[in-house]
Amino acid sequence: METILAKPDENSLKLAGQLLRAGELVAIPTETVYGLASNALDGKAVEKIFKAKGRPMDNPLIVHISDISQVYDLVREFPEKARKLAETFWPGAITIIMPCSDKVPKEVTAGLDTVAIRFPSHTVAQQIINSAGIPLSAPSANLSGSPSPTSALHVYNDLQGKIPLIIDGGESEVGVESTVISVAGDIPTLLRPGGITVEQIENVIGKIHIDKGVVEQIDSHTVVASPGMKYKHYSPKADIIIVKCDGDEYIDYINALKNREHIGALCYDEDREKLCVPYVSLGKKKDYLMQAHHLFNALRQLDEMNLHTVYARCPKKEGVGLAVYNRLIRSAGFEVIEID
Ligand code: AMP
Ligand code: MG
């Protein structure tokens, strides 16, 4: 199959809508990462996403809408707290899990009785949903297991020949996937940190529970609230090892390694001049938004540097830093070295 890479204009947006209505896949830009979209109400179309990505079928998808009113068709109940979150943060980088209606195919929910819904703020994403005239189920548009795509080129590199159309809406601004919160149970629970922080959410609906899987490793036999948590994720070719320390011990540790061949660093801007190995920087030490914006591109850049081990700075677990930590710890397969 030939893959068309197109800028958003009247023709390409119309084509995107036609393909989606016909049950085909289209990669779309969003403010979080690029999504691989299909008609969320057509189980056969949804199945194609799992095939193109190589995604395990038990990992459910997020349904993308372009107006809050579209929620009612998709849910059995629109809980008060969900409504407050939607009114405050949509359109934006937060996905809300609610009890699902029988209109949502099991391919989307992976057989759960809940559905994850998001209203993205990227105008091109909204235009594509409107052009299709249907809600779109979309996971990140990468091959399963590789870093999520934050540019159309990342998508092209992973999925060329497997999908008919990629709409290039520029670099994703947030750079990590949406915050996922479930309000389907008694206590609202954070399942994945993202661009909207715990503090922002608690300001609107009060105290929330943070699922253990956000910062800890879940073994593959445990039943988890969000199936995506248990899979290996965001893995570049090199092994990533996180080095946990506050100051320059990170630099000293790397520079003191006896054999520095094929060793690299995923560091902060402040470290660059002091390191004597090749590096990619995530941005300034305290600038969590910038670190999130750069993370996945940095992992893909490291792939091109012929490295076998990369020592990474350990992101702080505060604000959007929690989202960076959650992704990086997975790309490191939870391998952390602590230095005092
Ligand atoms: P992705 O689309 O690749 O960003 O992943 C979507 C994330 O949302 C995965 O971690 C899924 O496990 C999670 N998710 C989607 N729908 C549900 C649901 N109904 N219940 C719990 N988690 C969900
Ligand atoms: Mg993904």
Which mutation among 55, 59, 176 tests ligand 1's pocket best, with the greatest number of atoms within 8 A of CB?
A: 59
How crowded is the C-beta side of 301, counted as CA atoms within 13 Å? Answer: 15
Q: Which of 101, 176, 180 to mutate to test the pocket of ligand 1 (most atoms within 8 A of CB)?
A: 180
Q: Cα separation of 195 and 288, whole Å?
A: 10
Asked if pLDDT for residue 316 goes beyond 90, the answer is yes
**Does residue 277 sit within a domain?**
yes
Q: Could you report the per-residue pLDDT of 229-251, keeping only the tens digit for each? A: 666 677 788 999 999 998 899 99
CB burial string 13-32: b at 16+ within 10 A, e below: bebbbebbeeebbbbbbbbb
Question: Could you give the 3-state DSSP secondary structure of residue 4?
Answer: strand
Report yes or no on 132 lying in a domain: yes
Q: For residues 241 and 335, is the Cβ–Cβ distance under 8 A?
A: yes
CATH number of the domain at 267, please: 3.40.50.11030
Using the predicted structure, report yes or no on whether residue 291 has a pLDDT greater than 80.
yes
- 254 plus 197 within the same structural domain: no
233 alpha carbon – ligand 1 mean position (Å): 13
Rounded mean pLDDT, 91-117 = 97
- Using a pLDDT cut of 70, give the percent of the chain over it: 98
Cβ neighbors of 283 (< 8 A, separation 6 or more) are 268, 269, 290, 291, 293, 294
Q: Give yes or no: residues 170 and 80 share one domain.
A: yes
Residues 309 and 264 in one domain: yes
> Per the domain annotation, does 70 fall within a domain?
yes
- Average pLDDT, integer, range 282-293: 97
| Residue 65 predicted with pLDDT over 80 | yes
Same domain, 286 and 139: no
Average pLDDT, stretch 27-43? 98
How many angstroms is it from 146 CA to the middle of ligand 1? 16
Does one domain contain both 199 and 306?
A: no
Q: Is the pLDDT of residue 225 over 80?
A: no
User: Are residues 126 and 251 located together in one domain of the fold?
Assistant: no
Give the per-residue pLDDT at 176. 97
Per-residue pLDDT band for 222 (boundaries 50, 70, 90) equals confident
- Which residue has its alpha carbon closest to ligand 1 atom 21? 226
The yes-or-no verdict on residue 227 having pLDDT over 80 is no
Say if residue 163 is in the same domain as residue 262: no
Residues 102 and 172 placed together within one structural domain of the fold: yes
Q: Rounded mean pLDDT of 279-299?
A: 97
Domain co-membership, 193 together with 281: no
When pLDDT is averaged across residues 16-44 and rounded to a whole number, the result is 98
Q: Name, of 85-94, 210-219, 222-231, 328-337, the range with top average pLDDT.
A: 85-94
Per the omega criterion (within 30 degrees of 0), is the bond before 91 cis? yes
Which of 50, 97, 98, 177 is the best mutation target for the ligand 1 pocket, counting ligand atoms within 8 Å of the beta carbon and taking the most? 97
Instruction: Tell me the mean pLDDT in the region 259-288.
Output: 96
As given in the structure block, the two tokens for residue 274 are: 């002091």
322 falls within a domain: yes
223 occurs within a structural domain: no
> CA–CA separation, 335 vs 143, rounded Å?
23
Distance 7 CA to ligand 1 centre (A): 28
Which of the listed residues 58, 191, 209, 224 should we mutate to test ligand 1's pocket, taking the one with most ligand atoms within 8 A of CB? Answer: 191
- Taking the centre of ligand 2 as the mean of its atom positions, its distance from the CA of residue 148, in whole angstroms, is 6
Same domain, 280 and 169: no
| Ligand found nearest the CA of 211 | 1
Ligand 1 atom closest to 229 (CA): 10
pTM of the model: 0.95
* Ligand 1 atom with the shortest distance to the CA of 100: 19
Residue with CA nearest ligand 1 atom 7 = 228
SS3 9: coil
Count how many Cα atoms sit within 13 Å of the Cα of residue 55 in the half-sphere of its side chain.
26
Give the residue numbers spanning the domain of 82. Answer: 4-214
Q: How far apart are CA 33 and CA 41, in angstroms?
A: 22
Whether residue 185 is found in the same domain as residue 297: no
Q: Say what the pLDDT of residue 231 is.
A: 65
Residue 286 DSSP class: T
How many domains, in total, are found in the chain?
A: 2
Q: What is the chain's mean pLDDT, rounded?
A: 95
Q: Which of 24-33, 131-140, 200-209, 213-222 has the lowest mean pLDDT?
A: 213-222
Protein residues whose CB sits closer than 6 Å to any atom of ligand 1: 59-62, 97, 109, 112, 114-116, 139-140, 177, 180, 191-192, 225-228
- Given a contact cutoff of 8 angstroms between Cβ atoms, the answer to whether 128 and 17 are in contact is yes
Q: How remote is the CA of residue 128 from the centroid of ligand 1, in Å?
A: 21
Task: Give the ranges where the chain is alpha helix by DSSP (H).
Answer: 10-21, 43-53, 71-74, 80-89, 106-109, 123-132, 152-159, 198-205, 249-255, 288-303, 321-331
CA of 168 to the centre of ligand 1 (A): 24
- The confidence score (pLDDT) of residue 217 equals 85
d(CA 237, CA 302): 8
pLDDT average, residue stretch 112-122: 98
180-to-94, 117, 229, 271 alpha-carbon distances in Å: 6, 9, 11, 32
Residue 207 pLDDT exceeds 70: yes
Q: How confident is the model at residue 220 (pLDDT cuts 50, 70, 90)?
A: low
141-165 pLDDT, tens per residue?
Answer: 999 988 999 999 999 999 999 999 9
Q: Which residue's CA lies nearest to atom 23 of ligand 1?
A: 226
Indicate whether 221 pLDDT > 90: no
25 CA from centroid of ligand 2 (Å): 16
Residue ending a domain, among 172, 197, 214, is 214
Instruction: Examine the pLDDT at 336 and tell me if it is beyond 70.
Output: yes
Taking the centre of ligand 2 as the mean of its atom positions, its distance from the CA of residue 91, in whole angstroms, is: 20
Residue 226 scores a pLDDT above 90: no
Q: Is 166 found in the same domain as 26?
A: yes
The predicted pLDDT at position 100 comes to 97
For residue 232, the model assigns a pLDDT of 62
**Alpha-carbon gap, residue 259 to 310, rounded angstroms:** 13
